[in-house]
Amino acid sequence: MAKNIQREEKLEFRLMQLDDIPDVLEIEHEAFTLPWTEEAFRNELTMNHFAKYMIMELNGQAIGYAGMWTIMDEAHITNIAVREAFRGRKLGDKLLDELMQTASYLGMERMTLEVRVTNRIAQGLYEKKGFKPAGVRKGYYSDNNEDAVIMWADLPAHKASDEQEGSVQEQ
């Protein structure tokens, strides 16, 4: 009996680089009615010292990205998006987990975001991750003047281990 061998999928997260901008723009246009520009991403990566952006790759292909600003002990999610062809596979869930873990690692205690009042799918994901509605920004989205729900979550404290990636051990 022949075995049906499936290619094992390899999901990885890494910091966004300038070379990633073309892929990110494709994802951005698939996900948002008001996509950010190349210049906006370039400025975030080169000029904004509070900005942290990551790429989610599946088998070496960029399929999602997320970004946040880290200010004092709070992280503000700026964008989170997954390619249309890969939605519905809980990859947004994994991307948000990675972003929250990174924020915690960086010493952030709380995380916030805005989400369209009509985007119940995203709100459900955020609620599942511990975000709670905390208010409304009236007319936040300029494409249709839609309101945004402001959501906040407490982040778990980062647990430092003896061996951390990139750490140097004395001999």
CA distance 99 to 81: 12
- Could you state, in order of their start, the residue ranges of all structural domains in the chain? 9-152
**Out of 3.30.1490.20, 3.40.630.30, 3.40.50.300, 2.120.10.80, which CATH number does the structure's domain 9-152 have?**
3.40.630.30
Is residue 98 pLDDT above 50, yes or no? yes
Q: Band of the pLDDT at 8, cuts 50, 70, 90?
A: low
Report the catalytic residues: 114, 126
CA distance 113 to 149: 8
Q: Whole-number mean pLDDT of the chain?
A: 90
CB within 8 Å of 124: residues ≥ 6 apart = none
Distances (CA, A) of 94 to 20, 89, 169: 20, 10, 30
Q: What is the pTM of this model?
A: 0.85
